[in-house]
Amino acid sequence: MRTAQAQPWCCANCGFWQRWPSRPAFCPACLDPRHALPLRAWEFRVAGEVANGWRTLWRQVQPGLWRFTTAPQLGLGGVGYLIQRPEGNIAFEACAWYSEVALAWIAALGGVARAAASHPHTYGGLWQLQERFGCEVSVARDDLTWTGAFRCTWPFDDTLDLGGGLALHATGGHFDGHAVLHDEGHGVLFCGDAVRLERAPSDPREVVALSVHKGLARAIPLTADELRRYHAVVAPLAFSQIWSPFEQAPDIGRDDVLALLDRLLGGRPSTAPVALTALRDEEPVA
């Protein structure tokens, strides 16, 4: 007896892809306590429907660093990054959809040798990159249950060295297997949702405060042990920029993040933003 082949379905509310033979009944990412349910009925689209209604935009943010977005916004509106390097390009995070034109452009840039993402909210079109380029895909061990849309070929525990000054570090916290990517050469920490960059209402390009959370939509704070784990991961890493799944902050570095964590460890759990001016008045971290 032949069975229907599972195909990818995208949740319109959050952009999470799952594979089912028929339209899913719900989205597990939206049902998770960290997320918000859709305001109306569940909406799911197969790849062909997304291809007809959405396109992919990209630009070079810095030499060798590319940013991909989906237009109009699909799901949470997160971005995917591509890091060019002679050893083979690395994709970290993924936008919700990569058009055929975008995939051809990535191929012209050298394709993708290895791909990874910080947590399930940013898996996006990882399955497309794997299908097109046959790349290795790495996810921290504790998030393997979320990888139904693609195959994790290289799971890791605490740290995975990607070579060339790039390494994945599992932080836990926001998700059990949440991870960050440290790019030593560019001085960038691709922070996932380990740190939230709070933008100025008058200028969305300006970051004015930092915060951390386990769940943003429901204002769920991290525990003290989770904050200490973040601190232990960040402290040895040298970086002068933070790139989240939504924006790039070229002037926020390690000392700012450690000052935030130190402040939170000295009080009650909180998701409230802390102004950069307040953090930079703190004593520098050794």
Query: What single letter denotes the amino acid at residue 135?
Result: C
Residue 5 gets which letter from DSSP?
P
Burial of 111 (0-12, 13-18, 19+ CB in 10 A): middle
Question: Can you give the C-alpha Rg of the chain in angstroms?
Answer: 18
For residue 258, give every residue at least 6 positions away whose Cβ sits within 8 Å of its Cβ, in sequence order, or none. 231, 234, 235, 285
- Mean pLDDT along residues 228-241: 98
pLDDT confidence bin for 281, thresholds 50/70/90: confident
Rounded distance, CA 160 to CA 180, Å?
11
pLDDT confidence bin for 177, thresholds 50/70/90: very high
Q: What integer pLDDT is reported at residue 3 of this predicted model? A: 41
And the tokens for 86? 């002679």
Q: What integer pLDDT is reported at residue 201 of this predicted model? A: 87
Q: What integer pLDDT is reported at residue 106 of this predicted model? A: 98
Q: Among 1-5, 9-13, 135-139, 193-197, where is mean pLDDT lowest?
A: 1-5
Q: Which domains does the chain have, with CATH numbers?
A: 7-279 (3.60.15.10)
Q: What integer pLDDT is reported at residue 126 of this predicted model? A: 98
Under 8 Å between Cβ of 157 and 135: no
Under 8 Å between Cβ of 218 and 30: no
Residue 91: in which H helix or E strand, if any?
Answer: strand 90-92
Q: What integer pLDDT is reported at residue 205 of this predicted model? A: 78
CA nearest neighbour of 98 among 85, 112, 83, 114: 112
Rounded distance, CA 214 to CA 174, Å?
4
The 10 Å Cβ neighbour count of residue 286 is 5
pLDDT single digits (tens) 78-126: 999 999 999 999 999 999 999 999 999 999 999 999 999 999 999 999 9
pLDDT confidence bin for 1, thresholds 50/70/90: very low
Rounded distance, CA 25 to CA 27, Å?
7
- Mean pLDDT along residues 41-62: 96
Q: What integer pLDDT is reported at residue 146 of this predicted model? A: 97
CA nearest neighbour of 122 among 142, 147, 94: 94
